[in-house]
Amino acid sequence: MRRFLFVVLFAVCCLVGYGAYAHTVADWRLAPDPRTAVMDTRIEPVEAEWHVPLFKGLFYKALARQSAVSEEALGSMGEAPLSLSLTLPRGFASRVRISREGELIFDERPGAWEPMTLGAGAYALEIDCSAPKTDEAAGYGSFRYRCAFTVEPEPEPALLTGRTTPEQGDIVSMRLIHVPPGIVPRAETELGMAVFTPDGAGAWRVAIPVGNAQSPGQYGVRVFAGDKSFDVAITVLAFDFVEQNLIVDTGSSAINEASSPAAYREYREKIPPLFDTYDEERYWHGVFAVPAEGRISTEFGTIRYTNGDYSRSRRHNGLDIAAPEGTPVFAPNAGRVVMAERLLNTGNTIVVEHGGGLKSYFFHLSRVDAAPGDMVEKGALIGAVGSTGYSTGPHLHYEVRIGNRPVNPSMLFESDAGLYGAADEEEDAQLREDFRGNGAEE
């Protein structure tokens, strides 16, 4: 009997000792770690209690802890509208409460969380996660999370403008930022074609021509972005264009063919229809490069007359680069080839669309190394200098237009050109790097 009592007493002592040991070592390492995140930012519980099962649920040890802060401050989560996403613990019952400016706007027990859109304001979020007591000798308890964050107001569209006092032949550049999704801005002006192209998240850019024949004076540009509008005053300054007397052999059969009624009719059928077309994407980036090596034989905008006959003077709408026949011609910037064929008046001709109606025209080529539809990068070989069409010698006639308005190609070779006037700091640095890369010095 004594032995039996001793064994019983020993067993009880062991059980009591084991229970005491188990109770002592039972801590938060035996509790679950329900992971909760707000917009991919993990948050910790501010209050928690958990009951750890001992002896397969015969007894439980209660654990409790409380954070030093009543809620986590997450700061600004972004701009409105914001899609709030939550990651809730798996296997726990959850209750989510969301308040905006102190007003409860959400109080549900979601089985699965669906992102919700939040407007601007200050928010408080409270999440209760709990696991009930069951017959499976599992632990039970609850975790409470609280956090506060703000959603910043959606910024109003803002218009950045480049030079607003351009000379004849220059370009006025504008950039809209903070444009809401789904809004395509537009511009109205008598200066010429004005097509906005995407320029990054919420940003759009437009290049407005100031043609060489644009009369000096005051002009307006009105920009629309949804229900927001902007008015910009533009002052066009006069440019001092030079004159040139072009000597032409009127007895040349090639010249006569290139200046025949058929040649002009073909030109009108092929070239002006391109003026009204544009791509809605901007391909060009950085400073335009000179398309061919050579001597500038005729500047842009030169008032040119032939064989001394001033009565039939006209403006030269491009830049003539005199060079030996076969000199390579390169794309001055990225774009899409929209024409590559031989015309009676302009000879072998290539036209490249750079986006938004900004096009490069290459005339009198000896060779064409591009085809319509080709996407060309800056510096890509597209042809060679020649003297085809109405030409008195090997040269490249390089013309740049936005819509039907010719602009000065030489200005595009400079990093401070009007086309680049609305650049941000990062793009401005890249423009300067491109400018140096083109072999120029600032």
**For position 407, what pLDDT does the model report?**
96
> Do 320 and 296 meet the contact criterion of CB atoms below 8 Å apart?
yes
Q: Among residues 409, 389, 407, 388, which one has the least CA distance to residue 398?
A: 409
- pLDDT higher at 268 or 241: 268
- How many other CB atoms are there within 10 angstroms of residue 296's CB atom? 13
Q: How far apart are CA 398 and CA 176, in angstroms?
A: 30
Q: pTM of the prediction?
A: 0.72
pLDDT in tens, 31-80: 888 878 888 888 899 999 998 887 776 778 888 989 888 899 999 988 87
331: which 2 tokens?
A: 């794309």
- Which residue's structure tokens are 């595009």? 412
105: which 2 tokens?
A: 């706007």
Fold of domain 30-152: Immunoglobulin-like (2.60.40)
Kindly provide the residue ranges of all beta strands, DSSP E only, lying in 153-190, ordered along the sequence. 158-161, 171-177, 186-189
20: which 2 tokens?
A: 């005491």
Is CATH 3.90.930.12 the classification given to domain 158-236?
Answer: no
Per-residue pLDDT at 308 exceeds 90: no
Judge if 30-152 and 243-437 fold alike in CATH terms: no
> Do 55 and 19 meet the contact criterion of CB atoms below 8 Å apart?
yes
> Do 320 and 393 meet the contact criterion of CB atoms below 8 Å apart?
no
pLDDT in tens, 158-189: 999 999 999 999 999 999 999 988 999 999 99
**For position 398, what pLDDT does the model report?**
98
> Do 348 and 388 meet the contact criterion of CB atoms below 8 Å apart?
yes
180, 223, 352 from 207: Cα distances, Å: 21, 12, 16
CATH number of this structure's domain 243-437, picked from the four choices 2.70.70.10, 3.40.640.10, 3.40.228.10, 3.10.129.10: 2.70.70.10
Give me the helices (H) in 181-229, please: none
Question: DSSP character for 217?
Answer: E
Q: How far apart are CA 149 and CA 59, in angstroms?
A: 41
Q: How far apart are CA 386 and CA 383, in angstroms?
A: 9
Q: Among residues 191, 195, 203, 202, which one has the least CA distance to residue 166?
A: 191
Kindly tell me the sign of the dihedral angle through the C-alpha atoms of 38, 87, 112, 34: negative
pLDDT in tens, 341-399: 999 999 999 999 999 999 999 999 999 999 999 999 999 999 999 999 989 899 999 99
- Provide the residue ranges of all domains of the chain, joining segments of one domain with +: 30-152, 158-236, 243-437
Q: How far apart are CA 360 and CA 373, in angstroms?
A: 15
Strand partners, 211: none
| DSSP codes, 124-141 | EEEEEEEE---SS---EE
Kindly tell me the sign of the dihedral angle through the C-alpha atoms of 360, 364, 367, 373: positive
